[in-house]
């Protein structure tokens, strides 16, 4: 028999203070989106009634995430390098799957309130899946717009506001979604773009912006670049930058009110900057044109690393344990310097004296083939998340406390004669507790 204390010593992920903070935590969020309030909320309120009361909210979240995983897989099958046009039905599938993801992501919280099963676990799992969704939807859109290596930048413009909102939430304790440039409008624009591409074809995106929209051919500079690049620049200027300014402004007000240090607050952005900068340096030094040759691997590996960073920040916020956060986040990025060093060997080999016969063999060839480095990069972050990422506080010291709290919820539901059988409650708990096979009662 394994006791609770022995399990805590074995898993030590959340301290005693963190477990106590979890019990006190209350989610706070404000959505100012007009589209969500007046168009989609009525639909979501009706749609949630299709789910049975015994269905866990996290299962709805996971199902929605699987829609995006399917969409990214379709993009990989029909556009391996994200520079060829898939069949038009694939674009329609991308749009439909993204719409379903948005719907399921919106109703999981309603299901939690409907079944009285809201918990920090749900918030962590929901936002964790959303963080990974940035990568999978970027790959899907990259296949639709034939962005090739520039698909990475579409991941950037989705990841930057997401990280900024998570960072802001860490300080303000309230997740604030803006009125017109929030995730609701962003996802809507993307699946409308997928449906539009199903009608006009993917070839519409690589042509000059002036030809795509003839009435805008008078605009200097932008009319001569490819349409998807023009969209990228416009998104940065009118969506990403204002959102980041909004995040920084809100954090600054809170830090000033608490008489804290804004520099320390900004330091929490450092791991994300290191991640983006490291990948860009790796691509710049790459002899095999990394993002062009292996765009899916680069985005997937970077997206997994991003998911870990977001998960760590959310967990620190839920448990009120910020100490050591930046160090733990940066520890997950230690692989990048080795990948950069491997790419740098190709540059060094390129500089060898041309009189040596070995030069022709070594020239522009890294020490280890970059396909394997990129594969290890992706698998390393997948393994790191699986073994150390507390998506569901199941992998943490707080496992028992979460399970006991959940049992209390089940007991209350049964006592109140809600439509939830004991059998389904046990199945739900088993799916939640996952890796507890080695723990005896």
What is the pTM for the complete model shown?
A: 0.83
Q: Which letter does DSSP use for residue 372 in this model? A: H
Residue spans per domain, the chain: 23-208+248-426
- Residue 348 is predicted with a pLDDT of 73
* Helices vs. strands in the chain: H and E counts, helices first: 22, 2
Residue-wise pLDDT tens digits, 141-170: 999 999 999 999 999 999 999 999 999 999
Q: Among the options 127, 169, 194, 317, which is catalytic?
A: 127
b/e burial code for range 242-280 (CB count within 10 A of at least 16 → b): ebbebbbebbeebbeeeeeeeeebeebbebbebbbebbe
Longest dimension (CA), the chain: 86
DSSP per-residue codes, 182-216: SHHHHHHHHHHHHHHHHHH-GGGTTSBHHHHSGGG
Q: How far apart are CA 431 and CA 411, in angstroms?
A: 17
CA neighbor of 120 nearest in space, from 315, 411, 312: 315
Residue-wise pLDDT tens digits, 277-326: 999 999 998 888 889 999 999 999 999 999 999 998 998 899 888 776 76
- Residue 383 is predicted with a pLDDT of 67
- Residue 143 is predicted with a pLDDT of 96
Q: How far apart are CA 203 and CA 421, in angstroms?
A: 53
Radius of gyration of the chain (CA): 24
- Asked if residues 82 and 143 have their Cβ atoms less than 8 Å apart, the reply is yes
Q: How far apart are CA 99 and CA 297, in angstroms?
A: 25
- Residue 395 is predicted with a pLDDT of 38
pLDDT of the chain along its 441 residues, tens only? 444 444 443 444 577 777 888 888 888 888 889 999 899 999 999 999 999 999 999 999 999 999 999 999 999 999 999 999 999 999 999 999 999 999 999 999 999 999 988 888 888 899 999 999 999 999 999 999 999 999 999 999 999 999 999 999 999 999 988 887 789 999 999 999 999 999 999 999 999 888 887 777 777 777 789 999 999 999 999 999 999 999 999 999 999 999 999 999 999 999 999 999 999 999 998 888 889 999 999 999 999 999 999 998 998 899 888 776 767 777 778 888 888 888 888 777 655 544 444 443 445 677 778 888 778 778 777 766 655 544 434 333 334 444 444 445 445 544 554 444 444 444 444 444 443 333 333
Q: How far apart are CA 27 and CA 200, in angstroms?
A: 43
Q: How far apart are CA 370 and CA 312, in angstroms?
A: 29
Residue corresponding to tokens 């898939």: 86
Q: How far apart are CA 153 and CA 141, in angstroms?
A: 11
From residue 224, how far is each of 148, 212, 305 by CA, in Å?
Answer: 19, 11, 35
Q: How far apart are CA 270 and CA 268, in angstroms?
A: 5
* 127 counts as catalytic: yes
């Amino acid at each position: 028999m394994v006791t609770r204390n022995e399990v805590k010593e074995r898993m030590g992920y959340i301290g005693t203070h963190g477990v106590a903070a979890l019990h006190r935590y209350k989610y706070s969020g404000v959505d100012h989106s007009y589209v969500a309030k007046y168009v989609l909320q009525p639909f979501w309120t009706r749609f949630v009634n299709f789910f049975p009361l015994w269905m866990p909210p996290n299962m709805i979240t996971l199902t929605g995430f699987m829609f995006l995983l399917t969409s990214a897989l379709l993009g990989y099958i029909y556009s391996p390098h994200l520079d060829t046009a898939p069949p038009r039905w694939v674009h329609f599938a991308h749009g439909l799957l993204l719409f379903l993801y948005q719907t399921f992501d919106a109703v999981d919280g309603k299901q939690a309130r409907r079944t009285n099963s809201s918990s920090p676990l749900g918030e962590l799992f929901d936002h964790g899946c959303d963080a990974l969704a940035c990568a999978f939807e970027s790959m899907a859109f990259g296949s639709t717009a034939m962005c090739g290596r520039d698909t990475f930048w579409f991941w950037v413009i989705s990841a930057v506001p997401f990280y900024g909102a998570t960072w802001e939430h860490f300080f303000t304790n309230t997740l604030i979604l803006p009125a017109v440039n929030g995730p609701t409008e962003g996802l809507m624009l993307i699946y409308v773009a997928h449906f539009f591409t199903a009608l006009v074809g993917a070839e519409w995106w690589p042509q000059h912006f002036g030809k795509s929209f003839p009435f805008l051919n008078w605009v200097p500079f932008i009319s001569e670049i490819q349409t998807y690049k023009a969209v990228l620049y416009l998104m940065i200027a009118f969506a990403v930058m204002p959102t980041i300014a909004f995040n920084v402004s809100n954090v600054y007000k809170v830090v000033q009110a608490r008489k804290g240090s804004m520099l320390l607050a900004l330091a929490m952005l450092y791991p994300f900057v290191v991640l983006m900068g490291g990948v860009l340096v790796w691509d710049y030094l790459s002899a095999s044109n990394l993002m062009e040759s292996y765009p899916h691997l680069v985005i997937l590996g970077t997206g997994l690393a991003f998911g870990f960073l977001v998960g760590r920040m959310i967990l620190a916020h839920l448990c009120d344990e910020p100490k050591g956060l930046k160090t733990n986040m940066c520890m997950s990025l230690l692989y990048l310097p080795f990948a950069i060093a491997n790419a740098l060997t190709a540059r060094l080999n390129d500089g060898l004296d041309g009189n040596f016969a070995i030069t022709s063999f070594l020239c522009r060839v890294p020490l280890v083939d970059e396909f394997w480095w990129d594969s290890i990069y992706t698998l390393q972050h997948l393994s790191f998340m699986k073994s150390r990422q507390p998506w569901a506080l199941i992998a943490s010291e707080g496992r028992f406390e979460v399970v006991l709290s959940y049992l209390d919820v089940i007991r209350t539901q049964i006592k109140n004669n809600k439509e939830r059988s004991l059998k389904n409650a046990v199945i739900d708990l088993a799916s939640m507790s996952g890796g507890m096979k080695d723990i005896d009662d």
